[in-house]
């Protein structure tokens, strides 16, 4: 008898685990705030790298690595901000995010990969690597915004 209850509890908790992946558990407006806050912090750290990439500021490998580390951490975190039901409200997310999930996932996967390569490039301390990788990462930003963010 007791084992039935345990089995039922396990089934229930597995079920809610799956639901958490597909549907917003937080209020949709909180997801939208979370997405914007994430991107604001990402944008801030891109702006810390930009003057070093453009040669307006001497390359400081420790500072560049710190900034790139934040970018590498926040990219996969951003990917968790788009559960079903978070497409309405004060958001610039386009409906294509949910109607073309495979295409969106590709854009997100590229972004995550290039963010992680940005961290490797910063750690290398090589100015050319850093500049090239900053360009590659920036392309994933504008590429995704063109297709999936409202103007
Ligand atoms: C895979 C898609 C994708 C990638 C890659 C991406 N973004 Fe975004 N970004 C979005 C979407 C979608 C929004 C709109 C979020 C919303 O309003 O809910 C957004 C919003 C923003 C905003 C506005 C935030 C606000 O306060 O409204 C900034 C700034 C931004 N992104 C910067 C960046 C930068 C810099 C990069 C690259 C380092 C980047 N994004 C990469 C999809 C992406």
Distance in angstroms (rounded) separating the CA atoms of residues 84 and 97 = 10
- CATH fold label, 27-148: 1.20.120
Report the nearest-CA residue for atom 7 of ligand 1.
141
Distance in angstroms (rounded) separating the CA atoms of residues 145 and 80 = 17
Please tell me the distance between residue 12's alpha carbon and the centre of ligand 1 in angstroms. Answer: 35
Please give the C-alpha separations between residue 138 and each of 52, 97, 108, 133, in angstroms, as whole numbers.
15, 20, 13, 8
What is the DSSP-derived secondary structure letter of residue 90?
A: S
Least confident of 13-27, 73-87, 112-126: 13-27
Residue range 31-58, pLDDT digits in tens: 999 999 999 999 999 999 999 999 999 9
For the chain, what's the residue count? 151
Report the nearest-CA residue for atom 26 of ligand 1.
36
Looking at residue 5, its pLDDT comes to 54
For the whole model, what pTM was predicted? 0.88
For the chain, domain boundaries: 27-148
Contacting residues for 61 by C-beta, under 8 A, at least 6 apart: 122, 123, 125
Report the nearest-CA residue for atom 37 of ligand 1.
141
Ligand 1 pocket test: pick from 29, 38, 39 the residue with the most ligand atoms within 8 Å of its Cβ.
39
């Amino acid at each position: 008898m007791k084992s039935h209850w345990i089995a039922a509890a396990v089934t229930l908790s597995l079920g809610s685990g799956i639901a958490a992946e597909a549907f917003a558990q937080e209020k949709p407006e909180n997801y939208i705030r979370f997405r914007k806050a994430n991107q604001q912090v990402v944008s801030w750290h891109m702006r810390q790298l930009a003057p070093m990439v453009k040669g307006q500021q001497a390359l400081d490998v420790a500072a560049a690595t710190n900034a790139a580390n934040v970018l590498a951490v926040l990219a996969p975190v951003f990917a968790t901000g788009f559960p079903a039901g978070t497409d309405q409200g004060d958001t610039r997310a386009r409906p294509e995010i949910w109607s073309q999930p495979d295409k969106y996932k590709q854009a997100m996967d590229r972004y995550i990969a290039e963010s992680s390569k940005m961290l490797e490039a910063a750690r290398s301390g090589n100015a050319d690597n850093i500049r090239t990788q900053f360009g590659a990462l920036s392309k994933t930003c504008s590429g995704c915004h063109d297709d999936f963010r409202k103007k």
